Amino acid sequence: MPAKRKPQAGSSTASKRKLGDKSSDFEESDSQASSYEPSPKKKAKKSKFRQKSSPDAFESPSAVQHTEKSKISHSASIHLIHSPLEVQTALLQWYAGVHASRGMPWRKPYNPLLGPDERAQRAYEVWVSEIMLQQTQVATVIPYYTRWMEKFPTIRDLAAATVDEVNALWKGLGYYSRASRLLAGAQKAVAKYQGRLPDNAKDMEANIPGIGRYSAGAICSIAYGEHVPVLDGNVHRLMSRFLAVHAPPKSKATLDILWGAAAAMVKPKKHIKVSSAQRASSPESTLESTRYPGDINQALIELGRLLAGLYEFPTSSDVAKTTSRTAQAKIPHALLTQLVVPSILPYDAKRKETESQHECIQITSIKPVGDVIHVFSHIRKTYRTQWVIIRGGETPPKLKIGGFEGSTVPELSFTDGGGEDGLSASPRPLDAMWVPFNKVSSANMGTGVVKVWNSTKELWERDIDGS
DNA sequence: GTCCAGATTT
DNA sequence: AAATCTGGAC
């Protein structure tokens, strides 16, 4: 998914990261389970998976370095969404608060009462926006979109236009072949479909030039309410992290997993029969009726896109390469100041009987995990990771984020590595950034997995036990 | 992202 | 020979 709906410029490191980048590989061999290999590549393109010879400092105790292309030995089921409803709820709740924030003129609330013609008009609008968004970021597209709709309010207006008129409006967007396909698509829709874009993704993709799997899914879910998935670069990034996928990002196996996950998100729920009277009185059913596939897809895209407001684990920047192992072990204690915590006991201090578990937190263990290299554009960053166990407190400590201390923790937490990420929004609990320990890699180091809030307690307790 | 041409598989 | 996959171009 190269050129596409670009993430907000300069927002964060993640926008430049290659998902599944294998610049370094640490995967704890995880004995059991099936062996899942992302698409059997023909010849051994070993060079592509450059190995990292663990430099200086220390060796990672649990990391295993592979000399061959690593195979992932775990059940493929970890890459499935196990409670789509739960995730959907959190996602839509998040989206409800941001969907209108960027003033996208093509984004309108889904109206299930619309008739065929009105839906087709919506499809036209979404279509134009989607094609423009494939190559340009939202802020830039808006004025182009507005001008376009003024000149060609309906698909019939577009169909009647000349290439020159279209190109004139497209000027500055580049990729003119898209503009000409837009025109060709409109003409075909008028000539063969009574001026209405096909109302289902399959037909749309098969018959309208310039519309592929992604666009068909986006347009049909948003305009027609069809339960079809979308997977663009943003959703790819989101789902990769959510499911802790660490594999060649473009391989068929990886794509299959991600499309499957995207499909699970919009899978229609066999709704329980509710009378309109019940619906009116039950907030539950009201929410249920609000779960339109188009909203889910847009929410996924939106969450995967800017990427600002992402969080990383507490990090100390610019640590000298020569820092000794002993000196490094002292860093985590200083990092506690980045957390919202009750009083802190020194690492080595013996806990006095009088000191309540709840009033004090204390680091009880610090272990080097190994180095993780994060490469994005021209920057190459080494994370010297340490596994720190913190004991005490009633709940997982939250990250102190400038000015937002104490605000509400959203149900969805999404984090990213990279020190230059804009840290905004509300503080996240540390455990919301939890990443399966055996999956620490360049692809997800410092990257939190989106977690549904009500599942974090369990994770927290499990981590404390060190199991 | 989509399209297309060449390679591969059934 | 049709269906599917893959890598590069726009």
For residue A237, which amino acid is it? R
Class of domain A79-304: mainly alpha
Range name among A28-37, A183-192, A228-237, A371-380 with the lowest pLDDT average: A28-37
Query: What pLDDT score does A319 carry?
Result: 83
Residue A219: pLDDT band with limits 50, 70, 90? very high
- Mean pLDDT across A375-398: 72
C-beta of residue A371 within 8 angstroms of C-beta of residue A55? yes
Reduced to 3 states, what is the DSSP secondary structure of residue A448? coil
Residue A355: pLDDT band with limits 50, 70, 90? low
Q: Is the CB of A431 under 7 A from strand B?
A: no
Tell me how far the alpha carbon of residue A282 is from its chain's centroid. Answer: 32
- Mean pLDDT across A224-252: 82
Q: Which of A130, A226, A302, A312 is catalytic?
A: A130
Instruction: Quickly count: other Cβ atoms within 10 Å of residue A3's Cβ.
Output: 11
CA distance linking residue A85 with residue A289, whole number of Å: 13
Residue A107 DSSP one-character state: -
User: Which DSSP helix (H) or strand (E) runs through A73?
Assistant: strand A72-73
Protein-contacted bases of chain C (C-beta within 7 A)? 5-7, 9-10
Q: Is the CB of A3 under 7 A from strand C?
A: yes
Query: What pLDDT score does A234 carry?
Result: 84
Q: Is the pLDDT of residue A423 over 60?
A: no
Pick out the nucleotide with least CA–C1' distance to A234: B1
Burial of A27 (0-12, 13-18, 19+ CB in 10 A): buried
- Mean pLDDT across A399-405: 53
List all residues 6 or more positions away from A241 whose beta carbon is below 8 Å from its beta carbon.
A414, A444, A447, A448, A449, A450
Q: Is the CB of A404 under 7 A from strand C?
A: no
CA–C1' A187–C9 (A): 25
Report phi then psi at A129, rounded to 5. -65, -40
Q: What is the dihedral of CA A69, A71, A72, A76, to 10 degrees?
A: 120
Range name among A119-128, A358-367, A396-405, A442-451 with the lowest pLDDT average: A442-451
Residue A293: pLDDT band with limits 50, 70, 90? very high
Q: Which residue has the higher pLDDT, A323 or A443?
A: A323
Q: Which residue has the higher pLDDT, A466 or A435?
A: A435
Pick out the nucleotide with least CA–C1' distance to A175: C10
Pick out the nucleotide with least CA–C1' distance to A256: C5
Query: What pLDDT score does A79 carry?
Result: 75
Domain extents in chain A: 79-304
Instruction: Quickly count: other Cβ atoms within 10 Å of residue A212's Cβ.
Output: 12
Query: What pLDDT score does A9 carry?
Result: 35
Reduced to 3 states, what is the DSSP secondary structure of residue A193? coil
Q: Which residue has the higher pLDDT, A336 or A127?
A: A127
Q: Is the CB of A202 under 7 A from strand C?
A: no
Q: Is the CB of A156 under 7 A from strand B?
A: no
Report phi then psi at A316, rounded to 5. -105, 125
- A130 assigned to active site: yes
Query: What pLDDT score does A282 carry?
Result: 54
- Mean pLDDT across A77-94: 79
CA distance linking residue A138 with residue A158, whole number of Å: 22
CA–C1' A152–C2 (A): 40
Burial of A431 (0-12, 13-18, 19+ CB in 10 A): buried
Q: Is the CB of A216 under 7 A from strand B?
A: yes
Query: What pLDDT score does A353 carry?
Result: 65
Pick out the nucleotide with least CA–C1' distance to A185: B2
For all residues of chain A together, what is the average pLDDT?
Answer: 69
Q: Is the pLDDT of residue A70 over 90?
A: no
Q: Is the pLDDT of residue A38 over 60?
A: no
Q: Is the pLDDT of residue A146 over 70?
A: yes
Q: Which residue has the higher pLDDT, A355 or A56?
A: A355
| Dihedral (CA of A249, A254, A256, A262) sign | negative
Q: Is the CB of A39 under 7 A from strand C?
A: yes
Pick out the nucleotide with least CA–C1' distance to A212: B2
CA–C1' A302–C5 (A): 30
List all residues 6 or more positions away from A453 whose beta carbon is below 8 Å from its beta carbon.
A90, A409, A411, A412, A413, A432
CA distance linking residue A374 with residue A14, whole number of Å: 10
Reduced to 3 states, what is the DSSP secondary structure of residue A240? helix
CA–C1' A177–B2 (A): 10
Q: Is the CB of A280 under 7 A from strand C?
A: no
Residue A212: pLDDT band with limits 50, 70, 90? very high
Range name among A130-134, A144-148, A154-158, A402-406 with the lowest pLDDT average: A402-406
Query: What pLDDT score does A118 carry?
Result: 98
Pick out the nucleotide with least CA–C1' distance to A208: B2
CA–C1' A447–C9 (A): 33
Q: Which residue is nearest to nucleotide B3 (CA to C1')?
A: A210
Query: What pLDDT score does A8 carry?
Result: 41
Query: What pLDDT score does A428 carry?
Result: 60
Residue listed under structure tokens 């369990």:
A458
Q: Which residue has the higher pLDDT, A224 or A388?
A: A224
Tell me how far the alpha carbon of residue A200 is from its chain's centroid. Answer: 26
Q: Is the pLDDT of residue A291 over 90?
A: yes
Q: Is the pLDDT of residue A322 over 80?
A: yes
Protein-contacted bases of chain B (C-beta within 7 A)? 1-3
Residue A33: pLDDT band with limits 50, 70, 90? very low
Q: Which residue is nearest to nucleotide C4 (CA to C1')?
A: A252
Name beta bridge partners: A73. A35
C-beta of residue A151 within 8 angstroms of C-beta of residue A165? yes
Residue A69: pLDDT band with limits 50, 70, 90? very low
Residue A254: pLDDT band with limits 50, 70, 90? confident
Q: What interhelical angle do A213-224 and A293-304 show, nearest 10?
A: 130
Q: Which A residues between 221 and 280 have a beta carbon under 7 A from any strand B atom?
A: 232-234, 236
Q: What is the dihedral of CA A284, A285, A290, A296, to 10 degrees?
A: 60
Task: Identify which of A223-232, A388-397, A414-423 has the greatest average pLDDT.
Answer: A223-232
CA–C1' A439–B7 (A): 35
E strands, A277-405, in order:
339-340, 343-345, 360-376, 379-391, 398-399
Q: Which residue has the higher pLDDT, A466 or A293?
A: A293
pLDDT > 90 in chain A, percent: 31
Query: What pLDDT score does A374 carry?
Result: 57
Q: Is the CB of A168 under 7 A from strand C?
A: no
- Mean pLDDT across A289-311: 79
Q: Is the pLDDT of residue A228 over 60?
A: yes
Query: What pLDDT score does A34 carry?
Result: 31
Instruction: Quickly count: other Cβ atoms within 10 Å of residue A425's Cβ.
Output: 16
C-beta of residue A420 within 8 angstroms of C-beta of residue A363? no
